[in-house]
Amino acid sequence: MLKKSATILMFCTASLMASLAMAQQKSVIFKNGFENETEQKKWALIYGAKFSSEQARTGAGALQLEQGESSVRSRVNLSEQGTLEFWIKTTSPATQYKVNVLVASNQNADNGWVQVGQILGNNDSTEYYAKRISIDDPGKKFLRLDFEVSNGQVWIDDVSVEKILLDTALQKNQEKVIAEVLGKLRDDKNYQVQADALRTLGKNYAAQIDVQRQYLEYANGIYSSVTLVLATSERGKMANPLGYQTFKGIVSDVKRVASPIQKSRMESLLKPLGDIATASLNVMTAGAYQAFAEPFKTIVATTFDRVSYENAGIDRKSRKFAEENGLQTFQKTEGFMGEVEKELNTVVSLDRDLVDIQREVDKFRRDLDKHLKESLIAGGMGRGQENYNRVLSKDESIRAAALQEINNYFLLQAESYQNHSSSNTEFVQFMMKATGTMEETQIFKERFNQIASSVITFYDKFDRSVAKEQNPFSSDSDRALWESHAVKVRSYIQESKAAFAKAYM
């Protein structure tokens, strides 16, 4: 199951254009994990908050927020605040939280704070979850986080702020252009200035079309990578009982005292798990385990029942073995199957997270695809799959030619207005339509932030699932086998995680 989901939802960077990768370069301007006095001094705890050393995600510190309202502010002003990221942990899944994000030029004043974002909800477990939100403020501002918590407490850790990315800078520039145009229209009807501004808007509009293409590629790129397939496949095998020495010993003991019919029944149960002779393991799923576990335990119990082994046609030595080891073998089976089930529950939980991410990515792709087509129509390209394919082409020259057509459409509108063949009303309507389409693009950026948060959280959960202390087995040989798989998984997942962070963060 996990392998299947990963095949659908893998993280590939090969298709991303080098120019866009350069344009979207990330730069962290603020990073704080509440680790020590130096880092803690960068925060002003206004009310309802305190530093904690007991619930840190990494390192030795975290910020604890009490039930009710609380507020913290940065003591340093941050320039070009783009994306805010932090990790949040709750007392239980019933704990609800709301985080209001505000910025201001003056850290000490109570007024002047402007809300730039909000995160609300609850976590499915008591683990840390990643959260990302766009601030997108180009000024040098202080950061403030206001919390509203109910039904428990909240901890945050590993806060970071990135610089504004290219697509946001374009949008900010577009807002400036619109303000200038409408201001001139209201003040002096300077047709030349307004026409020039409209030409500038055309360049920005075409650039925003390419930003949409980029985010669509990001979403389509959350599809495939060899490293994540290898990691999830290996992870699924770690819940397969067939690979562990304890289970092989149980199977051997059962075969020793079983009747031919019981042996045949057991072989049919083991077949979906793989080949015990060659240790070829299949990926374990919840369905396969449920179909196998109880029938197998029943076979163990009945095989070592006195009536069964005395009529199984086995030799005296084997009957003696059955009499002395029946109860012990069944107890060993129960204990081992409990360890395997614990491991399987972890794998199933990871798979469920992947399915949820896949569902969100699919919806994001459909919605953005529709918005991109509408944006092309508003940009003068008209309907048709051919135009859409040109904008999404892997050939940069084909894309550039298509975007130039959009730019030319805006130039045509500018000429029309400058020659007075368009009225002020038509001009304003055109401007509002274009800018409304561009503003909607920012919604998709925030939705992708939410998807990225889910993926970051998934990687963190995956990492923790193969930590040495998560080894569920009691037998030394079984623990060693689990660890040998875990070593491979850790390597694969780190490669995949690094590729995702480089391409999408």
**Token digits of residue 113:** 């704070």
Examine the pLDDT at 379 and tell me if it is beyond 60.
yes
Q: What is the percent of the chain with per-residue pLDDT over 70, rounded to a whole number?
A: 87
The pLDDT score that the predictor gives to residue 10 is 38
Examine the pLDDT at 241 and tell me if it is beyond 80.
yes
Examine the pLDDT at 151 and tell me if it is beyond 60.
yes
What would the mean pLDDT of 142-158 be, rounded to a whole number?
96
Examine the pLDDT at 371 and tell me if it is beyond 50.
yes
What would the mean pLDDT of 445-461 be, rounded to a whole number?
89
Examine the pLDDT at 8 and tell me if it is beyond 60.
no
What would the mean pLDDT of 286-295 be, rounded to a whole number?
91
Mean pLDDT rounded to a whole number for the chain? 85
pLDDT band at residue 173 under the 50/70/90 scheme: low
The pLDDT score that the predictor gives to residue 140 is 87
Examine the pLDDT at 318 and tell me if it is beyond 90.
yes
The Cα–Cα gap between 130 and 50 comes to 20
What would the mean pLDDT of 15-22 be, rounded to a whole number?
31
What would the mean pLDDT of 407-423 be, rounded to a whole number?
80
The Cα–Cα gap between 97 and 481 comes to 41
The architecture that CATH gives domain 28-164 is Sandwich (2.60)
Examine the pLDDT at 16 and tell me if it is beyond 50.
no
Lowest mean pLDDT among 139-148, 197-206, 266-275, 336-345: 197-206
Lowest mean pLDDT among 9-23, 332-346, 372-386, 428-442: 9-23
The Cα–Cα gap between 86 and 29 comes to 14
Q: What is the percent of the chain with per-residue pLDDT over 90, rounded to a whole number?
A: 51
Tell the residue number behind the tokens 């979207």, with chain if given.
24
- φ/ψ of 280, rounded to 5, equals -85, 110
pLDDT band at residue 223 under the 50/70/90 scheme: low
Examine the pLDDT at 9 and tell me if it is beyond 50.
no
Lowest mean pLDDT among 3-12, 171-180, 195-204, 385-394: 3-12
| Coil, strand or helix at 72 | strand
Nearest to 262 by CA among 306, 310, 296, 307: 296
Examine the pLDDT at 158 and tell me if it is beyond 80.
yes
The pLDDT score that the predictor gives to residue 184 is 59
- Report the range out of 76-80, 136-140, 370-374, 383-387 with the highest average pLDDT: 370-374
pLDDT band at residue 382 under the 50/70/90 scheme: confident
Nearest to 159 by CA among 46, 94, 76: 76
Instruction: Give residue limits of the domains in the chain.
Output: 28-164, 167-231+353-491, 244-339
Examine the pLDDT at 90 and tell me if it is beyond 90.
yes
The pLDDT score that the predictor gives to residue 123 is 94
Cβ contact 387:443 at 8 Å? no
pLDDT band at residue 431 under the 50/70/90 scheme: confident
Amino acid at site 363: K
pLDDT band at residue 21 under the 50/70/90 scheme: very low
What would the mean pLDDT of 334-359 be, rounded to a whole number?
90
- Alpha-carbon distances of 215 from 98, 115, 209, 211, 444, rounded to whole Å: 27, 26, 10, 6, 8
Amino acid at site 272: P
The pLDDT score that the predictor gives to residue 443 is 86
What would the mean pLDDT of 377-393 be, rounded to a whole number?
88
pLDDT band at residue 410 under the 50/70/90 scheme: confident
The pLDDT score that the predictor gives to residue 238 is 92
Per-residue pLDDT tens over the stretch 180-220: 655 655 555 566 767 777 788 888 888 889 889 988 888 87
pLDDT band at residue 17 under the 50/70/90 scheme: very low
The answer to whether the Cα torsion of 325, 326, 327, 331 is positive or negative is: positive
Cβ-proximal residues to 295 (8 Å cutoff; 6+ apart), any chain: 265, 269
The pLDDT score that the predictor gives to residue 229 is 67
What would the mean pLDDT of 99-121 be, rounded to a whole number?
89
